[in-house]
Structure 1
Amino acid sequence: MTVTNVVTGAVDWAMDRTIGPGYSRLGFEARKRFWAADPPSDALKGRVALVTGANSGLGKAAAVGLARLGAVVHLVVRDVTKGERAKAEILDAVPGAELHVGRCDLSDLTAVREFGDSFAGQLDVLVHNAGVLPPERAETEDGHEVALATAVLGPHLLTGLLSPALKASLDGRVVFVSSGGMYSQSLRIDDPEYREGEFAGAKAYSRVKRMQVVLAELWAEELRVDGVVVHSMHPGWADTPGVSTSLPRFHRVTKPLLRTPEQGADTIVWLAASAEAGRENGKFWHDRRVRPTHFLPWQHESEEDRLALWTFCETATR
C-alpha cells in the first residue's frame, strides 16, 4: 500500500465518521479525486434497468445515469403524469434513450403484485429507491405502517416477483437506496410497525432504512447461487424534493452543503454498472466504497433478529 493510499484512506475514514464533511457535497468533491474508476460509457448497453420512485430526486437522477450508460430504463412511479414529465426531462438530458413509465405504489402490496406479475421480459438492474418520511403514523389498506410498506415490504415483494428475470440475466444486480440515518437506529424487529411509543417521522424513516440494509444482505445470500448481486448504499445529504418537503428545517440550514441529486445518485449508477461492484455481494456502500453497517457495538443485530426480519417480510407480503 502506497503512502498516497494510506493518506487518502485516512481522510476518507475521517470524513465518514464526522458525517457533515463526508455526507455533504464537500465529501463528494474530495472523494471523487481518488475513488474507483467510472464504468465504460457503454457499460449498460443492451441491459434493462428498473428504478422505483423515478419521477424526481435521486430516482430520476439514477435513471439519467443509467440511460447515459446505454440502459433501457423503466421508471416506476405512483403518478403516471409525473412519470411522463420525468421521462421527457430525461430524454432532454439523454436524447434517444429508451424509457418506459410504469405505475406502481410500492406501499400497496396488491399493486406491487399486479405490477410484478405483469412485468415481462429482460431485467438486469433493479433499484429500490422509493421511500417516504411520514409526518405522522399512518397505515396502508393492508394495515402496515406507510414508511415500512414503501421501503421494506413493497421492495421485498417486488424483488421476489422479479427474481426470475434477474436470475436469467448474465449479471443481475439489485440496489437498495438506504440512508446514513440508519446508523442512528438498531433493527427493531420487536416493533417493525412502530406501534409502540410516540411516533416520529424521521425515526420511522431511519428504522426502515436500517431494515433495508439488513434485507439487502439477506437477499444477497438468497440470490447468490443464481449469480445475482445485491447491495445497499446511502447517498449522503442530497438536495431532493423529499428532503425539502419532509425536513424543511434541515434543508434550510444545510442547503449550501447539500449534494445535487446527481451526486447523491452517483453510487447507485456505479453499483449497477461497474465491474468492481459485481465482484462484491451484500455490501453497504457510500461514494463508491464499502462502509461499515454499524458504528456502535450495541446496535448489532443478532442472527435470530435477522432471520426474524425475513420471516416477517415473507409473512406480511403473502
Structure 2
Amino acid sequence: MSTLITTPFSATSTAAEVLTEVDLSGRRAVVTGASSGIGVETARALAGAGAQVTITVRDLDAGARVAADITASTGSDQVTVAPLDLAQPASVAAFVNGWQGPLHILVNNAGVMAAPETRTSQGWELQFATNHLGHFALTTGLRPALAAAGGARVVSVSSSAHLRSDVVFDDIHFLARPYEPWAAYGQSKTANVLFAVEATRRWADDGIAVNALMPGGIRTKLQRHVTDAELDRLRAQSTAGAGGGGGGGITWKTPEQGASTSVLLAASPLVDGVSGRYFEDCNEAGPNQPGTRTGVADYALDPRSAALLWDVSLATLAG
C-alpha cells in the first residue's frame, strides 16, 4: 500500500481550524443533509472560508433556519437552501436538472442510521437507498458540473460502521435474509467507500478527486433510531477503551470536530491530488486491525467490488 497521507490536524481539530487561511472565494459547494449535525458545521466552515454553499434538506423550514444561522455566524450571504430527498430518484433528478454552472465541492453527508426495516416505493432498503444509491445518482448526475469546475472534490461521508458488513451483493435489500439495522447501515457505509474507489478510477481524466471518511462518534439526529440503552452501551465501551488503553472504545466529538475531516477533504490544499482514499481524524486511515473500530476494511477498498457496485447501482437506478 502507498504511504499514508498525514496532516498536522487530528481528532480534536475543528472544521474552522482546518480551513484557517484557506480562501474559497468563487468556489461553489453543495452539502447534503445540512439541516443538523456535522452537515451544518461542514457548510458553516465552507461558507466561512468564502464558498458559495447550497445546503440540501428535506425540511425547507429547517434548512432556512440553518442558512440564517450560518449567515449570522460567518457574515456570508452566499448560503442557499434546496430541497432534496435522496430516497426519491425524482427528487435527485430535479436537483441535478436544476443545477447550472460548475460545482467545485460536493459533500455527500446526508444519511440514515440503524433505521427499522423500511423500503422505498421502489422496494429498496431505505439505508442503502439513501446513503448510497441517492448519493450515487446525485454525484453521477452532477459529473458534468464537477468536471467543468476543474479540480473538483467529492467527499463521501462513511463510518466505522462499514467494518460491520461488506456489501452483500446476493441480497443487498434484505429480501431473503433477516433484516438487521446495523448490518444494513454497515453495508451502505462500505458502499460509500467503494464509490470513492471506483469514481477515482473512472473520473481521473476529469480532474475530480473523490475520497471517503469516518467523521468520528458525534451525538446528532443521525442517531434518532438508536435507543438510549444502545448509546449507554457504546459509552460504556468508550470508557472501557479509554481507561484500559484499548482500541475498541469511542471518543465522542463535537459536531465542529466531526466536520473537520469532511472539510479537509473538501477544501484543504494539504490533500491536493489525493483521491480514492479513506480518512479518519484528518489523516488517511491504515488497514483495520482485528478487535478495533478504526482503520479501513480491505473489502471497502477492493477495486473489483467497487466496479461491481457501480454496475449494480446503475442497473438498480435504471429499474
What is the number of equivalent residue pairs in this alignment?
A: 289
Match status 1:188 vs 2:168: yes
Provide, for residues 154-196 of structure 1, a one-character-per-residue CA deviation record: whole Å limited to 9, x for no partner.
1111111111111011220000000011122223222211223
- Show structure 2 runs of 5+ residues with no match: 1-5, 240-250, 291-295
Would you identify which runs of 4 or more consecutive aligned residues in structure 1 move more than 6 Å?
none
Once structures 1 and 2 are overlaid, which stretch shifts more, 182-191 or 286-295? 286-295
> Could you say which structure has the greater relative contact order, defined with CA pairs below 8 angstroms and 6 or more residues apart?
2
Structure 1 CA distance, aligned partners of 2:78 and 2:22? Answer: 14
TM-score for the superposition, normalised by structure 2? 0.83
Q: What residue number does 1:6 align with?
A: none
Q: What residue number does 1:268 align with?
A: 262
Structure 1 segment 8-47 matched on structure 2, within 5 A: 28-29=11-12, 32=13, 38-47=18-27
Aligned residue among 99, 106, 131 for 2:79: 99
Identical-residue share of aligned pairs (%)? 30
CA contact (8 A) 1:41 1:68 kept: no
Match status 1:278 vs 2:280: no
Provide, for residues 211-266 of structure 1, a one-character-per-residue CA deviation record: whole Å limited to 9, x for no partner.
11011111111111111100000111012122255343343453995211110010
Q: What residue number does 1:3 align with?
A: none
The one-letter code matched in structure 1 to 2:219 is D
Q: What residue number does 1:243 align with?
A: 223
Q: CA deviation at 1:199?
A: 1.3
Q: CA deviation at 1:144?
A: 1.0
Provide, for residues 34-80 of structure 1, a one-character-per-residue CA deviation record: whole Å limited to 9, x for no partner.
xxx84453421110100000000011110011111111100101111
CA contact (8 A) 2:50 2:76 kept: no
Q: Indicate the RMSD between aligned Cα atoms, in angstroms.
A: 2.5
CA contact (8 A) 1:183 1:293 kept: no
The one-letter code matched in structure 1 to 2:177 is G
- Show structure 1 runs of 5+ residues with no match: 1-8, 13-26
Structure 1 segment 51-200 matched on structure 2, within 5 A: 51-200=31-180
The one-letter code matched in structure 2 to 1:300 is Y
Q: CA deviation at 1:299?
A: 5.7
Q: 1:251 to 1:67 in 2, by over 3 A?
A: farther
Q: 1:215 to 1:198 in 2, by over 3 A?
A: same
Q: Secondary structure at the match of 2:171?
A: coil
- Bigger helix share: 1
Q: What residue number does 2:317 align with?
A: 317
CA contact (8 A) 1:284 1:293 kept: no
Structure 1 CA distance, aligned partners of 2:297 and 2:258? Answer: 29
